[in-house]
Amino acid sequence: MALWGGRFSSDTRNEVTQYSESISFDRRLYHFDIMGSKAHVTMLAAQKIIPEATAEAICAELDKIEKRIDAGDFKYDIAMEDIHMHIESALIDALGAEGARVHSARSRNDQVALDIRLYLRDEVDKLIEGIRHFQRALVAQADANPRTIMPGFTHLQHAQVVLFAHHLLAYVEMLDRDAERLAECRRRINVMPLGSGAIAGSTLPIDREAVCRALNFSRVTRNSMDAVADRDFAIELVSDLAIFAMHTSRLSEDLILWCSQEFDFIELDDAFCTGSSLMPQKKNPDVCELTRGKTARVYGALTALLTMCKGLPLTYNRDLQEDKVAIFDALDTVKMILKVYPPMIETMKLKADHMRAAASDPALMATDIAEKLVELGVPFRSAHHRVGAFVKYCREHKKALNEVTLDEMRETIPEATPDFLNLFDPVGSVAKRNVTGGTGFDQVAGQLEFWKKSLAI
């Protein structure tokens, strides 16, 4: 019989039981449900709401239940609906009426709000450490190739010469913001809702602050209705995960391009690729492609949560049971990305000669010519126009920019001097970009040292 069935005159239909159960997915909350219950009954005893001996017996039995679940010896029954009812039923089976005291001054509404906050707080800590590991892998690969040059791209066209390390460090910066967002989100997760009851709090003399301290929350919720009704902290978390997934999807696209025959800049280790069932020669960057696809799943989880909550009147509605499906899927997807990406990055092999050849296209130094003119006092827009005309001249005469004579260059750039002909060295182009945040050798070396120190590499 359901623990809430006293008011009902008939049993729930089997189809409804199957439709309404959540134990198939919320069982992963058991550790946090038990943690919250132990803090709760300890407080109830301290407040003389239940006997001290009862609280001790409940805590001892909760420890036994947790060990049974850990060992896989706990029986689940969808008639018990969720993990909260399973654990409470097990307590009552073991302790009788004394076990039933565990639910004094709480509702499943504030209980599940507590469990999900405890769970997500723990998960965020793991996610942040996973992101730091990801960053370390990128920094290590960049540090192993500090002078490798490559073409940088805008609009997927060759733009300017950059360092490969500079490119990877761009993703390190993105991941750092991802970790910062998660840390900020954790601060909002770390608020204690237990004691809010179903909607209005409790008439019993509970001590919410004691439970808050016992569970290491930063504070208690200030409004009982808000505490049980909202899931904005979960929506925020999945939003942060969606941004992280977007960043990894962009990195995936770079890696996919770099692996292609047209680029041929890198080779991913065989352990992170698969072949074709038809074409024996194929080596496909499936991890990268799957990451692009799995990013859509995380976006879907975010959309599901936003849509689920947008029309709910205060306070709790059963719709909120479905929040965990989206939350868990987004978390599991991101945790898999964090598990597979660092070793893939660490084992990636560069084809530095191919990168260097692609970066040696003299057209990549067109901006260097324009900036040289600016140094001579030419307004930038005028310089830009002159260099554009020079590029057009070279295309019309089927010459590379570095194949013209000084006289030919002066047809469109009258200010050109002999040292203009030396501006087509990709290494020199990188070296001159010695501005804060630039791709210059010294700047990137400084950034590498910063990240190695920050990430304790």
The string over 409-426, giving b where at least 16 C-beta atoms fall within 10 Å of a residue's C-beta and e elsewhere, is: beebbeebeeebeebbbb
Segment holding 263, helix H or strand E? none
| Burial zone of 271 (CB within 10 Å; 0-12 exposed, 13-18 middle, 19+ buried) | exposed
- CB of 150 closer than 8 Å to CB of 143: no
Q: Cβ neighbours of residue 412 under 8 Å, at least 6 residues apart?
A: 386, 387, 389, 390, 392, 393
Whole-angstrom Cα distance, residue 89 to residue 95?
A: 10
Helix, strand or coil, per DSSP, at residue 350: strand
- DSSP states along 203-248: SS---HHHHHHHTT-SEE-S-HHHHHH--HHHHHHHHHHHHHHHHH
Helix, strand or coil, per DSSP, at residue 124: helix
Whole-angstrom Cα distance, residue 17 to residue 377?
A: 80
- Which residues are bridge partners to 220 per DSSP? 192
Active site residue 276: yes
Max Cα-Cα span within the chain = 100
Catalytic residue of the set 9, 10, 155, 277: 155
Cα–Cα separations (whole angstroms), residue 15 to 12, 19, 21, 209, 266: 8, 6, 10, 42, 54
- DSSP states along 3-35: TTGGG-SSPPPHHHHHHH--HHHHGGGHHHHHH
Catalytic residue of the set 276, 382, 397, 454: 276
Q: Active-site positions? A: 155, 276
